[in-house]
Amino acid sequence: MKKRFCKLGRYWLGAVCVVSVCGLTYSCSDDYDLPTTTPSWLGSSIYDYLKDERDYTNFVRLIDDLDYAEVLAKTGSKTLFVANDSAFDEFYKNNQWGVHSYNELSLSQKKLLLNSVMINNAYLLEMMSSVEGPVKGQCLRRETAVAVTDSITHLSAEQLPITYNEEDKDYWARFRDPNKGGIWIAMDNTVPMMTHFLPAQMSNNNITDMDFEYVVGKTRDKNDAFIYGSKVVEQDITCQNGYINRLDQVLITPPNIAEMLRTNGHTNIFSHMVDRFSAPFYNESLTKAYQLLYGNTVDSVFQKRYFSKVSQGGGALSSDAGTDPIGNPSGNAVSYALNYDPGWNTYMASEGKTPKEQDMAAVFAPSDNKLYEYFFAENGGGRFLLEAYAPDLIGSVRGETDYENIYRCIDQIPLDVIQALINNLMKDSFCNSVPSKFETIKDDAQDPMLDETHYQYIDTVLLANNGAIYVMDEVLTPAKYAAVSAPALVAEDMHIFNWALNQVQLNSIKVDFYAYLLAMSSRLSFFVPKDDFYYVDPVSFAWGIGNQRVLYYTWDKATSKVKCTAYDYDYDFATGTGVIGEPQATTTVSTGEYEDRLADMLQTHTIVHSDNTKTQGIDETSTGIECDKNYFIAKNGAPIYVKDATKRENGCMVRGAWLSAGEEMAKVIRFDDKTEETNGNGNGMAYEIDKPMQPAIESVFSTLYNNPEFKNFYDLCQTDIEVLEELGLTKSTEQRRYEIFVNDNGLPCYDKTNGSLVSSATNVRFFNNYRYTVYVPTNDAIQEAIDKGLPTWERIREFIEKMKADETVDEEEWKEQGLAMVSALINFLKYHFHDETVYADIPALKEDADGYETATLNSATGTYMKLYVSSTGNGTLQVRDAVNQTRTITSNNNLMTRDYVLNASGTSARTISASSFAVVHGIDGVLNYKELEGGRYDSDWSTPTAAKKYLAKYRIIE
């Protein structure tokens, strides 16, 4: 009969452990004195129970051999998970150590068998899922009695990690020296933990029985408890100093993730990749502890650690201090890192913020044959990496088991590149990575990485002491390899753009453009200029004639950073030609300046395609730029003109909104298909071009001023401030509402006939960092409208003078009439500006029933007046206004502009704060936002009553 505690004895144990038997405390200490006697009424100890039962002889021998009998025979606080003799008999038949009897067990193996199933507190099994509070259902794992010194082992030279990349720092090299004889090492300096699957924890974390079956490889009933894969078949055997739980098999605590990857035999390639991030760190305390136990036969003990964002203690391991304590004690910073240290036994999820007891890690490790296919098959997802970094070595690999040559090839991929693949497969939460939650797991682009079909790709699941390893018959490639940014990642002549992409911020402005280009839900075209390029600095056009410059970007291989030098740029405003001069010896381009232009270039060189089937009959999300059109819109609204897109690197040419007179368009010199259709995963096309595309330096103001055919419209846009003052609008904030152009630190306008400064107030007031279309009626059309009573600033001034001279007229009433005249003029002009850019292009354009909102507001209803645009194709555009008049564009069309907002004005300007892009089209008639009464404009202010009626509906309020 089992020697269980009586009810009184159970209460006594609760008193000793301060109610820890009920799981209400978690800090019963081992630092107790062992009493020499036991109360006469108390039952047996853990040791006596096991010895008396007679079917635990193997386990009792472990206790005796390790001198633990006295501890387990006296009062204390322990929880043991034991196996009986029949379980040991099965263990001796087949185990990972190859031992066939107790006598063949080594001392370290005995320590592992005992200490890994012993917890230094007394817990009822039900309460083992509770954490301090108590909070039930939170605890997944607990520390065991294993000591770090138990895991110290000796690795020979051939067992040590190796790298075949000469640029890697090989931290293990000195221990591979035959004269060194290998290394004494602990695989981690934290204690291995016990993972238990208990009903409360599984329920609380929504871990299903199906999840358990996938992970453990066994089925379970509702109330079953498992320690790793060992089932608890008899639980809560109560002894005077703790609890015993019997398992159905001998339990060996598995190694950590890193070691399991290395030793399981199916993930050799992935393990080798991971080990490139490892290094041996000297540990003085481990050395002394080991010497205390075993003498001074070992002079140094190291621990294996991995450079990672989260490691022991919850912080990053980003320095190699400790790898060479004599030669370089302070160490050096390391720039590459895994998401976390896979060898960290007491791993803490959520970047070290989740307590170690509540979760562990998960790794989706590809099997060897799948990684081989990924890198070496002709259509493999990682083939492009080897073609970039090891083109001469690919042919040396003789098959999927030629590991040395496989490693040699893959190792040529730089650490900061290969880490993207590894980190994509390392997930920080086991609880959130079980199969039932696959669809919630995100990749490096924060897109879904898995779906319900990926169950079939699980070859096996290995439980490590700090996480689960899903051995996959598939390589889950990172978005970084599949995206349009991938070619820049590996190319030897695209370092500048790749560097810019990977900056979280440029010029103190958060850009995170890398994350944007990883979005697999988008269809992108990404243009990357080859390294060492000239870029005309648009900001320098704010500094006055003769002060323009070109920025020369180069890549410094020694520092792996961008360098930028300023050159003189002799620009002729009359002809639009420019000549690059000498370097500006006395000018230093600040980091903020050249990063600012790079951030702008990233925007102007990226097209985000959309489905235009409804209006143009073209779905760009399928075609990209390879469709029947020339004009495309970049991410920030900048126009890109594409010629012969289907010729790709054999003739495709592109340009931005500005091209110096006589200069050739940028040529596509390399093309990379990164589409989902071709690769199974991807988001578009990447094009390397021989130089960057230049954005516009012409504003809407400059375009209107310097085009004689736009003169009448331009003149109407020049607000007469004195007129506004006469009407009582004396505050600058009031006056601003009636201005078309304002000074918002834009680029000044110069007369292209003589180079003189025209104005610095060149920004369209109601542009707001977006893209727009402007329609400019011919001079004749404007004059015809004026003849029909459209007010001009001169006529408004004349009206005011006439009213002022007539003392019989009520001042308030005539000012109301004057304000109606001004409002009618401004509303007329603003109606020729609408949101979105519409180009006269090749495809036909169906009229969108929703139309385009203009800048003219019906203040009574709060709605913007609309225009409706269509095209018959081949460079035509028709514009229908609110009164169903249809106008056609003239030959003055597709004039591309950009209104800059700089951080300061004049020579103080250094960076681009914002900008708006617009296309200007000439049209053959004016556009009206309302019916003309009697065919005339002036009927709206002919009387004070008419003026009030007009202003009630169309007053300028913004």
* Cβ partners under 8 Å of residue 80, min gap 6: 46, 72, 117, 118, 119, 242, 243, 244, 245
Distance, in Å, from the CA atom of 456 to the CA atom of 217, rounded to the nearest integer, reads 15
Average pLDDT, the chain: 92
Q: What is the pLDDT of residues 176-187, one digit of tens each?
A: 988 878 999 999
Residue 556 pLDDT > 60 = yes
What pLDDT was estimated at residue 297? 86
Residue 510 pLDDT level (bands cut at 50, 70, 90):
low
Q: What is the pLDDT of residues 598-630, one digit of tens each?
A: 999 999 999 999 999 988 999 999 999 999 999
What pLDDT was estimated at residue 509? 62
Residue 7 pLDDT > 70 = no
Residue 87 pLDDT > 80 = yes
* Cβ partners under 8 Å of residue 554, min gap 6: 496, 531, 532, 562, 563, 564, 565
- Kindly state the average pLDDT of the residues 491-504: 90
Peptide bond between residue 134 and the one before it cis (omega within 30 degrees of 0): yes
Q: How far is CA 438 from CA 429, 453, 467, 759, in A?
A: 12, 9, 16, 60
What pLDDT was estimated at residue 39? 55
Residue 23 pLDDT > 60 = no
In total, the chain counts a number of residues equal to: 958
How does DSSP classify residue 889? B
What pLDDT was estimated at residue 440? 95
Mutual angle of helices 107-115 and 57-65, in 10-degree steps: 110
Given a contact cutoff of 8 angstroms between Cβ atoms, the answer to whether 640 and 620 are in contact is: no
What pLDDT was estimated at residue 30? 41
Q: Which two tokens stand for residue 319?
A: 């320095």
What pLDDT was estimated at residue 874? 93
Distance, in Å, from the CA atom of 121 to the CA atom of 125, rounded to the nearest integer, reads 12
Distance, in Å, from the CA atom of 850 to the CA atom of 920, rounded to the nearest integer, reads 21
Exposure letters 591-615 (e unless 16+ CB within 10 A, then b): eebbbbbbbbbbbbbbbbbeebeeb
- Kindly state the average pLDDT of the residues 482-499: 94
Residue 503 pLDDT > 90 = no
The domain segmentation of the chain, as residue ranges, is 1-136+219-252, 349-478, 486-689, 711-954
Q: What is the pLDDT of residues 354-409, one digit of tens each?
A: 999 999 999 999 999 999 999 999 989 999 999 999 999 999 999 999 999 999 99
What pLDDT was estimated at residue 37? 55
- Kindly state the average pLDDT of the residues 541-551: 95
Q: What is the pLDDT of residues 861-904, one digit of tens each?
A: 999 999 999 999 999 999 999 999 999 999 999 999 999 999 99
Residue 914 pLDDT > 70 = yes
How does DSSP classify residue 604? H
Picking from 888, 900, 896, the residue whose alpha carbon sits closest to that of residue 920 is: 896
What pLDDT was estimated at residue 516? 84
Q: Which two tokens stand for residue 775?
A: 């329609």
CA 338 to chain centroid, in Å, comes to 15
Distance, in Å, from the CA atom of 607 to the CA atom of 628, rounded to the nearest integer, reads 16
Q: Of all residues in the chain, what percent carry a pLDDT higher than 90?
A: 86
Residue 249 pLDDT > 60 = yes
| pLDDT: which is higher, 23 or 750 | 750
What pLDDT was estimated at residue 12? 33
Number of helices (H), then strands (E), belonging to the chain: the values are 32, 42
Q: What is the pLDDT of residues 103-144, one digit of tens each?
A: 999 999 999 999 999 999 999 999 999 998 889 999 999 999
- Kindly state the average pLDDT of the residues 732-751: 97
Alpha helices in 178-312 (DSSP H): 199-204, 209-216, 257-263, 268-275, 284-294
Residue 662 pLDDT level (bands cut at 50, 70, 90):
confident
For tokens 């004057």, the residue is: 818
What pLDDT was estimated at residue 179? 80
Residue 3 pLDDT level (bands cut at 50, 70, 90):
very low
Instruction: Could you please state the CATH topology (level 3) that the domain comprising 1-136+219-252 is classified under.
Output: FAS1 domain (2.30.180)
| pLDDT: which is higher, 3 or 349 | 349
3-state percent helix, strand, coil for the chain, nearest multiple of 5: 30, 25, 45
What pLDDT was estimated at residue 568? 97
Residue 292 pLDDT level (bands cut at 50, 70, 90):
very high
What pLDDT was estimated at residue 940? 96
Given a contact cutoff of 8 angstroms between Cβ atoms, the answer to whether 430 and 140 are in contact is: yes
Q: What is the pLDDT of residues 450-475, one digit of tens each?
A: 987 888 999 999 999 999 999 999 99
Residue 615 identity (one-letter amino acid): T
